[in-house]
Amino acid sequence: MGSLKVGILNGGGDCAGLNAVTRGVVRKSEQFGYEVVGIRHGWAGLLDIDTIPLSWKDVSHIISQGGTILHTTRTNPFSHKDGPATVLNNVKKIGLDVVVAVGGEDTLSVAAKLSPMGLKVVGVPKTIDNDIVATDVTFGFDSAVNVTVEAIDRIQTTGESHDRVMVVEVMGRHAGWIAAHAGLASGANLILVPEKPIDLNEVADFLKRRHASGATASIVVVGEGCELTGHLSESASKLDEFGHPRLGGIGEVLARELERRVGIETRAVVLGHVVRGGPPSAYDRMLATRLAVAAMNCVRNGEFGVMVCVHGNVISKVPLLDILGKMKNLDTETLSLIKDFCV
């Protein structure tokens, strides 16, 4: 292909490594002789035409920066009147030959649906939640886990000094990847994940036994997507454009209930956005860069309607339609590690 105009957008929650992808796309585009346009605020930037030109100067040194210089939103063109047609028209107006859509399941599902409608699109998976199917791992996850582990290490020492149970709430809407990896890597005593319903009596009995046998402090890691019977997420009424409620608050409820049932002072810490922000780990910088290069190779080869991904540390690609409506939950190995090491 000759010279192309490439648009890049980020949708959904931000994560460490987004800027590394933008940098990779701009660098490869310049090598290929393509022009790059940054689409701001996710799909909203194609509903309203909100773009910025990007050249190597704009991406210099952003590999180490958290967040995204393009900004992001949870905009779903399919929930706007004439949204898909507006996006397709605006892509023409801007003169984009292809859009590189960097996002999680929601953003990529929009890409998957716009592709058969005529949008030339390549998807790049990202999320701290690590819950996208058809890829072994997403960038953002490793950075989030590292920050969570460091935080739990700190929470552990203060918990021990005060003989407390410390409940640590972490992000992860549908899947417990952050809770599981950070909990296992920090030696947490109990890890509660959305994949397994919480039985309060079981959790309380576990803590009673642990403390009766000599433990003076405990760490309980809980994924924000866990449900407690009888507890409704406080902001469940606030849905985003993809129909997801704003989560958060399970840690506080759990701490209250456990203190009442176990009789040991219990405190809750919500790590939430703290672990989503900040600089990417070296692993995430590399993964994001590799995926950016793979995406640009797809663009050059005219392969659209695909998502670049990683399988067994080999970069590859799958049809975007393969990920529609699916979720990567914790695997049996991780679930069994949780069982073996939570004592």
Active-site positions? Answer: 129
- Least Å distance, CB 14 to ligand F6P, is 8
Integer Cα distance of 238 and 176 in angstroms? 22
Report the C-alpha gap between 284 and 262 in whole angstroms.
Answer: 40
- Shortest reach from residue 246's CB to ligand F6P, in Å: 5
- Nearest approach, Cβ of residue 124 and ligand F6P (Å): 15
Q: Which lies closer to ligand F6P via its Cβ, residue 210 or residue 276? A: 276
Other residues' Cβ atoms within 10 Å of the Cβ of residue 56: 12
Q: Which is nearer to ligand F6P, 7 or 249 (CB)?
A: 249
Q: How far is the CB of 240 from ligand F6P (least distance, A)?
A: 7
Least spacing, CB of residue 307 vs ligand F6P, in Å: 17
**Which CB atom, from 112 or from 262, has the smaller least distance to ligand F6P?**
112
Strand (E) or helix (H) holding 102: strand 98-103
Q: Which amino acid is residue 283, in one-letter code?
A: Y
Residue 82 has what DSSP assignment? Answer: T
The residue (of 260 and 326) whose beta carbon lies closer to ligand F6P is 326
Tally of CB atoms within 10 A around 222: 30
Which residue's CB comes closest to ligand F6P? 13
Q: How far apart are CA 159 and CA 166, in angstroms?
A: 6
Residues that bind ligand F6P (CB under 6 A): 12-13, 104, 127-129, 171-173, 224, 246-247, 276
Which is nearer to ligand F6P, 12 or 183 (by Cβ)?
Answer: 12
What six digits make up the tokens of 46? 């194609």
Between CA 265 and CA 255 the distance in angstroms is 9
Three-class DSSP labels, 226-242: CCCCCCCCCCCCCECCC
